[in-house]
A and B are shown apart, each in its own frame.
Chain A
Amino acid sequence: MSTQMDNVSAESRSLWGDAWRRLRKNRLALWCLVVVVIYTVTAFYGEVQYRYYQFKDEQPSYQRPDLDSQYLAPSLTRVLKGEDRAGRSVVKELLRHPCGTDGLGRDVLARLVQGTRIAFLVGIVTSIIAIPIGVILGCLAGYFGGKVDDFIVWLYTTMASIPGLLFILAIAMVVGQGLLGVYLGIGLTTWVGLCRLIRGEVIKHKSSTYVTAARALGLGHARIIFRHILPNVFHIVIVTFTIRFPQAISTEVFLSFLGIGVQGEPSWGIMISNSRLRLWQGVWWEMTFVTIAIFLVVLAFNLLGDALRDALDPRLREAG
């Protein structure tokens, strides 16, 4: 009895509090979290900027050609090389086009910010499409089994057997090029992995005693699936989100690079595509900064996903 009494005094820890406590012990994961937060804020800033120009109905600064400052190198390079500052102070010069400009004299940094915005839009919107499909189909297949399961397994094996790029191309043909095609193309093809994971996990949980106990209380199927089983497998959704986010971003870059993705907006893929033309003439900065931006966000999300996988695993919760 005494141990039971002791337990009462300890403040009860919530599931998320517990996970956060474990995540906090992982320094690398925390740094990744910082990186992700910085990107998120940047993307948000980009969105505000985009809306602002839309509202004012004028051409955004990051799109406006400035033929006086074509192919300006990053400011630090310029200063170090001692280029003409046209009467500006060093600090002011350093703040002018810090990442250089492109062939139309547009600021690379501002375009990177817009690229971040588009990357996050793609990551989020495709998740909003793919995750509910994967979760709902996975839950239904795992819980009901039988014919429902057969159909859903057939559906996702068929999906998985179509090369993703072909599917996206087909969708782009139907809805036209642009962001909508990217959203739908990526969103509708990337639910399979999550669906498979959720299905397996739900099968495991379905036969557990707490589900029988919930049925014995008279709960309906929907409530058991979505209120009792889903919270127990939700860590998979979060981990999958962090892992598929950078995948969606890379796919968008790839599609835009090929010219079937985003049109007329500075997505990272468009920037890479544009910058490759002059790369051999020493215009290295646009390509370099875009690559670093992509590399960092993909790395941070992947490492964070791994750390979350460990931190959120309910089996690792310590007792007491």
Chain B
Amino acid sequence: MFDVPETAMKNPIIEVKNLGLHFGPASRPVRAVDGVSFSIDEGETVALVGESGCGKSVTALSLAKLVSGSSRYVSGSVMYDGKDVLQMEESELRWLRGNEISFVFQEPGMSLNPVFRVGSQIAEAIRLHRKGVDVHDEVLRLLQLVGIPAPEKRMRSYPHEMSGGMQQRVMIAMALACQPRLLVADEPTTALDVTIQAQILELLSELQKQLGMAILLITHNLGLVADVAHSVNVMYAGRIVERGPSRELLRNPEHPYTHGLLAAVPRLTGSVGRLKSIDGSVPHLAQLPSGCKFHPRCPKRKPDCEGVEPELRESGENRAVRCYYPVKQGQHEER
């Protein structure tokens, strides 16, 4: 259904380096992001995977400095075109947002303003960054691009008159209004039905092929990324615990957490078994355990996992894992 071009252009458009983000009082910070580094190349799809509360959304929002609330950046940088986004002025940020980097969020129904017709919301996005285009025609073109039937009529609908899938298509149309170089899709399908999920993902990879933008796809479902992403970053408790090209990582996951995530993916084919979820839950980010943050839940833990936290180490070509005892190739049990 999807095909991933094997050779994406190697030209990073955004580089996150050692990003650290805290919430709450400095005396007892919630360490939402801790030393996260990754980069996204031109035209590439990168996935960010992890359970709820692992800091995926705040990492994504940081790409355009959109995190609100009592947040502080304690370390790191987000380099875009040689400039650090975290140091940008408000006016530069406004140019960056929507124009260069745009976002699609989890709840399409909540991301659209309930009091405006969808057409005028898309039009606003166009007017904001592009001068001298016929806004009406452009809205129509975008709605057609994202596969909305009867776009002339749909333009005049209010968000609550549309289904979730249609709302998400409108959000994608808005995000594409200014031809961004990077589209950040934060769990774009989590709130939708399974069949609609597949349609939206297909639409995204179709649009990527047409428009050549890069995509950061955030999800808690590792099963979704195989077909769409080139590379995968697995996040746990505000850290990246494993990274690699998506096919290889899925074939040979090395971190026990990645194993756990894979076991929790519902399968449409193969033996009907109970879905395994990882025991326990994500620790509170203000009271993290010592050592490897995953060790209390890890089936393969050894005594020294509680000591010093492991580094994210190279473990092969383009691969890295943050574990003292990574599962080696062919070693993991058949599922």
Contacts and interface: CB of A to CB of B under 8 A. Distances in A.
A218 to B, nearest CB: 4
B157 A231 contact: no
A5 B107 CA distance: 22
A4 B166 contact: yes
B181 to A, nearest CB: 14
A7 B110 contact: no
A220 B90 CA distance: 9
A210 B113 contact: yes
B103 A213 contact: yes
B113 A216 contact: no
A218 B97 contact: yes
A3 B163 contact: yes
A10 interface: yes
A220 B110 CA distance: 20
A213 B150 CA distance: 25
Contact of B113 (A3, A7, A12, A232): A232
Nearest to A319: B160
B238 interface: no
Contacts of B161: 7, 10, 12-13, 319-320
A207 interface: yes
A263 interface: no
Contacts of A213: 103, 105, 111-112, 171, 174
A207 B69 CA distance: 9
A314 B115 contact: yes
Contacts, number: 98
Question: Chain A contact residues (Cβ within 8 angstroms of B): what range?
Answer: 20 to 34
Contacts of B99: 218
A317 B61 CA distance: 31
Nearest to A235: B115
Nearest to A314: B114
Contacts of B128: 217-219
Contact of A217 (B125, B162, B165): B125
A76 B150 CA distance: 66
A213 B64 CA distance: 12
A174 interface: no
A218 B156 contact: no
Given A3-B163, A216-B97, A231 B102 contact: no
Given A314-B114, A317-B160, A216 B149 contact: no
Interface string A206-218: 1111101111111
B97 A232 contact: no
A320 B111 CA distance: 18
Nearest to A216: B103
A8 B97 contact: no
Please name the 3 residue pairs, one residue from A and one from B, whose CB atoms are nearest each other, closest first: A218-B98, A218-B97, A217-B98
6 contacts: A12-B117, A12-B156, A209-B107, A231-B115, A317-B114, A320-B160
Given A216-B64, A231-B116, A317-B114, 5 more contacts: A206-B68, A215-B68, A217-B128, A232-B115, A320-B160
